[in-house]
Amino acid sequence: MDIVLNAIGRLSKEKIKIELPNHKILQYDIPKKIQISSCFFRTGVCIRCGLCCKKIKPNLYWFLDEEYNQLPDKVREKLDIIKIKVNGLERDIYEYKNCDLIDDNNLCSVHHIKPIECALLPIFIDQNKYLFTYLRKRKRGRFKIFGCNMYFTEFDEEAFKEWDLVYLEKLNKIAKYLGVKTFLPEIIEELKKSVKNKSINNNILIWETKKK
């Protein structure tokens, strides 16, 4: 869940304080810069080794009722509802502990409605100590640890429209559900423009605070 909340927090237009059930608190300042890296415009290919799911068995989280309604009954029966607070606003999240939803062929049984944290892969929204946020595509730490052999190919426009944009828009829905205003609408619009104009080889600046 932290990956999703970090992504939203690092793209927020306001300061955020998130209180989690385990008394953990996440806090985010408004980023001073947001940039889409040129390496975002490439396509990640999963070889379905299953390592990132079977080795970790992560907890899964769904944020929206529309997602819950599409889940199979056998999954819904095992869901817990946890509560978080975002700037004091309480919200319910559906939690599935210790994922066992991958089959013997290393295929996800809820692929059509997989959690946003899984679906965004390999999109990575990073932020440095200067509050500069970068949108990239890269292997995350857990892939390297377990020897995942996913790889990148040249930019595939259809895959970008059918996957990347769809799940960035879902991330935007989740941010709205949590009551957080983000730069996601601007990011999505700029991505669409860049693909339409075939200008996918350059970094794209979304936001930068004015220097005094």
Nearest to 168 by CA among 151, 192, 152, 150: 192
Nearest to 48 by CA among 150, 187, 139, 169: 150
Contact 42, 155 (CB under 8 A): yes
- Is the pTM higher than 0.85? The answer reads yes
- Residue 141 confidence (pLDDT) above 60: no
How far from 12 is each of 48, 158, 172, CA to CA, in Å? 33, 28, 11
Q: How many domains does the chain have?
A: 1
Contact 11, 182 (CB under 8 A): yes
- Residue 89 confidence (pLDDT) above 70: yes
Average pLDDT over residues 13-24: 95
Give tens-digit pLDDT for 157-172.
999 999 999 999 999 9
Provide Rg for the chain, Cα atoms: 17
Query: What residues make up the domain containing 106?
Result: 2-208
